[in-house]
Amino acid sequence: MSKLWDKGYALDKLIEEFTVGEDPLLDQRLVAADCIASMAHAKMLAKIEILTPEEYGALRKELSAIVRLNRDGRFPIRREDEDCHTAIENRLIQTVGEAGKKIHTGRSRNDQVIAALRLYTRSFLLEFQEAALNLVQVLHAFAEKNKDLPMPGRTHLQVAMPSSIGLWAGAWVEELLDDLNLVDTAYALNNSCPLGSAASYGVPLPLDREMVAESLAFDRVQNNVLYVNNSRGKFESIVLDAVEQAVLTVSKLAQDLILFSLPEFGYFRLPDELFAGSSIMPQKKNPCMLELMRAKAATLSSCSAQVKSIIRALPSGYNRDFQETKAPFLRGLDLALITVRVMQAVIEKLAPDTERLRAGFTPDIYATDRALELVARGMPFREAYRAVGTDLGALEQGDPDQAIRRRGYTGTTGNLGLELAAKQLEQRREQLASRRRGIDAKLEALAGMAVSLHG
């Protein structure tokens, strides 16, 4: 007997392959989270006297053992087990006996899945925040170090106005910090406890949802039990949309690096180890990881769109369609995290080429400054604009350093405000550390051991 819902009839292999899909593989990463959630559920069942203290103790011990087995890659999920939840229950029945047959009292696989995903996602989001802050930090350091280094400012990819490395790098810093606001909102929504929803409609038992939420360090109980199931896919798409923004930011930064490190521009240099060769052309150094960032941003967008498309217009309550959201969700999370980490590695090794950057200041870059000089002498801007535009040949070579110093108001090359970002970065670091401490302490108390739920 391997499946919870097996009632004796033979299931066609094809149907099994179709309905089980990638779950046995994907669920490897949910094993620890499901064990922890099961401990909290069992602890609560003991409190309401459905389990004896001894039964709870035995289950907790065995669940800890499974966490360790999984950590060592020794808890396989067989295709016949369908998913980690069945595999774990089957093992508990096998090793603990009677208590194993009781642990599913008052819960359904659906809310197990949701609980495990929330715990996993919470852990992921903390790691993602750390990775994003690390990227912010190296970009900020790059901005600080080269803050007054002139760089041609471009629009439409064409030379536009005087700019600086400080402005360019600072822009990414601020964008990523803003992106983290979305991650915050997703984190807060995700950090609510679904357990007790059972199959969407609760059960006629005196479950203590607050106790379970507290054990698992959730910030709140997600109240309405039907809403719990209706939020499957929704929360996943919210998390994906949030991390997607950071990856979209990275995709644009990657595009700048691809273009501006071409010999034709030469603004940046990257070390050889960040390039890949060609199988046929001996001379090639290809910025493959930067190209893949562009492409992976598209992949991530499709993950989120897929999840939304699956849940759209579904009837309320659990539907199996939700299962199909697991793969794009987990795949999207992986991709977001590694993309941000690889970009950090790139920025750490990025070097500006001072000479080429200055050489990019051709006379036409000063056209607007010239028009504003005419304005200073009293000519209305629109006339000054025309005067300069009809005699572009008269533009002279200017001084890049002076040009970027002359922009002095908030947020411009002469007044970058990098200290504001530094402060935000520090505050976020502290918040992150505080969140981790609180969660780790509660989970360790529950499990009697330190537990890592992501990665």
Q: Considering 85, 104, 108, 156, which one is annotated as catalytic? A: 156
User: Catalytic residue at 85?
Assistant: no
Contact flag: residue 286 with a second copy (CB under 8 A): yes
What residue type is 159 in one-letter code?
V
Residue placing its CB nearer to a second copy in the complex, 68 or 358: 358
- Minimum Å gap between C-beta 440 and a second copy is 25
Q: How far is CA 199 from CA 109, 312, 317, in A?
A: 8, 20, 8
Contact flag: residue 434 with a second copy (CB under 8 A): no
Q: Considering 2, 278, 434, 452, which one is annotated as catalytic? A: 278
Contact track, a second copy, 175-214, x by CB under 8 A: x--x--xx-xx--xx------xxxxxxxxxxxxxxx----
Question: Which of the ranges 59-67, 131-139, 271-279, 430-438 carries the binding residues for a second copy, by CB under 8 A?
Answer: 271-279
- Minimum Å gap between C-beta 158 and a second copy is 6
With contact defined as beta carbons under 8 Å apart, do 257 and 350 qualify?
yes
| Cα 130–chain centre separation | 10
Question: Which of the ranges 72-80, 86-94, 115-123, 434-442 carries the binding residues for a second copy, by CB under 8 A?
Answer: 86-94
With contact defined as beta carbons under 8 Å apart, do 103 and 58 qualify?
no
Contact flag: residue 383 with a second copy (CB under 8 A): yes
Say which residue the tokens 């939020």 belong to. 231
Instruction: Please tell me the distance from the alpha carbon of residue 268 to that of residue 105, in angstroms, as a whole number.
Output: 61
Which residue, 261, 272, 254, is CA-closest to 356?
261
**Near a second copy by CB under 8 A: residue from 76, 411, 438, 448:** 411
Contact flag: residue 410 with a second copy (CB under 8 A): yes
- Minimum Å gap between C-beta 354 and a second copy is 18
User: Catalytic residue at 434?
Assistant: no
Site for a second copy in 147-176 (CB under 8 A): 153-163, 167-168, 170-175
Phi, psi of 352 (to 5 degrees): -80, 150
Contact flag: residue 73 with a second copy (CB under 8 A): no
Contact flag: residue 28 with a second copy (CB under 8 A): no
Instruction: Please tell me the distance from the alpha carbon of residue 392 to that of residue 369, in angstroms, as a whole number.
Output: 13
With contact defined as beta carbons under 8 Å apart, do 174 and 411 qualify?
no
Contact flag: residue 450 with a second copy (CB under 8 A): no
Phi, psi of 162 (to 5 degrees): -60, 135
Q: How far is CA 150 from CA 153, 399, 403, in A?
A: 9, 10, 9
Token duo for residue 50: 């459905």
Instruction: Please tell me the distance from the alpha carbon of residue 23 to that of residue 4, in angstroms, as a whole number.
Output: 15
- Minimum Å gap between C-beta 405 and a second copy is 9
Contact flag: residue 129 with a second copy (CB under 8 A): no
Cα 339-341-347 angle, rounded to 5 deg = 100
Site for a second copy in 290-349 (CB under 8 A): 291-292, 294-299, 301-303, 305-306, 308-325, 327-328, 338-339, 341-342, 345
- Minimum Å gap between C-beta 57 and a second copy is 17
Residues carrying an active site annotation? 156, 278
